[in-house]
Chains A and B, each alone.
Chain A
Amino acid sequence: MSATGIIETQTLEVSLGPQHPSTHGVFRMDVVLDGEYVVKLKPVMGYLHRNHEQIAEKIAWIANMPYTDRLDYFCSMTNNWAYALAVEKMAGLKVPERAEYIRVIMAELTRLLNHSCAIGFLLSDCGAWFTPVLYALRERERILDFFETVSGARMMCNYMRFGGVRVDLDDQSLAMARDIVARWPAFLDEFEKLMTENEVLIARTQRVGILPRELAINASITGPMARASGVEYDIRKVDKYGVYDRFDFRVPVGEAGDTFDRYMIRILEMREAVKILEQALRDIPAGPFIAPEAKLRNFKVPAGDGYGRIEAPKGELGFYLVSEGGAKPYRYHVRPPSFINLTILEDMCLGQKVADTVIILGSVDIVLGEVDR
């Protein structure tokens, strides 16, 4: 049943449809198969479209903050930060130092959340029957409990405000965060022992779904996926937003750009995030947690446009906002990393087998809330 066989065979068109145990949400792939090989792949998105950008034009600037939680629903803190960053740029608000440190702590904890979940689900797509997922979720629960203690909700945190954060971190919460960070390297060691050198995993993920470096740059791929292909681009180092230039951390970059590299890059990024967290929790200064001139009600942003972006765990998350000087945005656009990263799916999957399609999709690490908005 080879693609260049002597016998004339028919291709099989399969819809890995929206109801599927492992397409990470309601997402459809129309795949044309020749035997087990993928000849054509068309991603179909839009099953979770919720008119996020249109809703944002009707409500006040601050009222959009809870909606941004629901974009990439795994990582609500970083979504909030990107939006707050864009508005602060346009309004010229200066964020106090303690708030910047708090934002970094929350963002890096979100990175740990996201990567551990992403790897867990990638491994469960490989067929490891939920064992890695449940180990990852066990640690993730601690971070979610911390988010609940600080902001009131586990996932839809609604925590950042323009000019700072909503509530301050008290000493008990800081101790909780330190405890989480102290346990994380042990969890990573156990996880790596379980999976990284597993021959079955290596056979399934090495040389699968290769993304060449040139193609990654041309297709605007960002995040761990680009770094696994050899593109040295991390917005934390390039833009130096927040107080990231005060922390000493490295950015891992891969060579081959296959699924195994994407998996390893995420693990290495988790280790670097732990380093940043240790430094931030050690150095956090006292002070105000929100800018004194920040307002909640009747907050008007000066006319103009602005683009604020951060290194979200999945890639570059950007908000393009246009204001007419009023209390509501005129135009509100989200640059979602999952959506842009997903456009290259066909090129990565051609010539691979059906079973690999699901694994490659898992390594792109998408969240449908972001893809469809």
Chain B
Amino acid sequence: MSNLLGKGLIDGLVVTAKNFVGSYFDGNRKDRLFTYQYPEERMKLPENSRTFPFLVYDGTPDQLRCTACKICETECPPQCIYIVMERDANGKPLQRPRVFDIDISVCMQCGICAEVCPFNAIKMDCDFERSKHGRFEDLLVHLPELLKSNEYYHQIKSAEATRVDATRKPTKKPAAGTKPEKI
């Protein structure tokens, strides 16, 4: 506190004036104007950023890595994943999901499903522009929309995808059954 009363007020005015003038000379968003004028400019998201999960396939959507082991369904904290294993005509499990639904209005984006998956099948996407017009069915994402290729995975998270490719054991998936099985 200084003895000259009013000095604090004037100091405040000086700081705001500096910010006002400085905002016109702030190139490259270093100090002052830090807003991105969306949708013309988009911020580059860091590689690790996570939003909603997606399923990885190698090559064709038929060769998805998921074996419908249901570990992610069990570990998901808000229980937003619903998996049904695909079985052939005799009822033998085919190690692939027939139904894989994620309710993204419930999903917490915690990433635990991606952490616990033993097959590196489910990973976290960084796409946040997911708004829909409906509140219920539109936000329930089914298997076809969840499937994205390994090339896409490399594109959004190259370091992580490279590390995953170096450590996992590639397997060939059995083909999906052509005859409809008994429900």
Contact = CB atoms under 8 A, between A and B. Distances in A.
Do chains A and B make direct contact within the complex (CB under 8 angstroms)? yes
Nearest to A195: B12
Given A194-B16, A297-B116, A153 B11 contact: no
Interface string A160-203: 00000011000000000000000000000010011111111110
B155 interface: no
B8 A199 contact: yes
B115 A197 contact: no
B12 A148 contact: no
Contacts of B32: 138
Interface string B1-29: 11001111101101110010000000000
A63 B49 contact: no
B105 interface: no
Given A66-B110, A156-B109, A194-B16, A199 B5 contact: yes
B75 A63 contact: yes
B45 interface: yes
Interface in A53-70: 59-60, 62-67
B112 A63 contact: yes
B77 A202 contact: no
A47 to B, nearest CB: 21
A64 to B, nearest CB: 7
Contacts of A193: 11-12, 14-15
Contacts of B6: 199
A59 B115 CA distance: 17
Contact of B115 (A138, A166, A199): A166
Contacts, number: 83
Contacts of B115: 166, 296
Interface residues of B, number: 33
Most interface-central of A138, A190, A200 (chain B CB within 10 A)? A138
B77 A152 contact: no
B1 A202 contact: yes
Contact of A148 (B46, B77, B112): B46
Most interface-central of B45, B109, B112 (chain A CB within 10 A)? B112
Interface in B98-144: 108-112, 115-116, 124
A323 interface: no
B158 interface: no
A297 B69 CA distance: 14
19 contacts: A62-B112, A63-B77, A63-B112, A66-B108, A66-B110, A135-B19, A149-B48, A150-B48, A158-B112, A167-B48, A193-B12, A196-B8, A198-B11, A199-B6, A199-B8, A199-B9, A296-B112, A296-B116, A297-B75
Given A65-B112, A156-B109, A199-B5, 14 more contacts: A60-B75, A63-B75, A65-B110, A66-B112, A151-B48, A152-B111, A153-B49, A166-B115, A190-B15, A193-B11, A197-B1, A201-B8, A297-B71, A297-B116
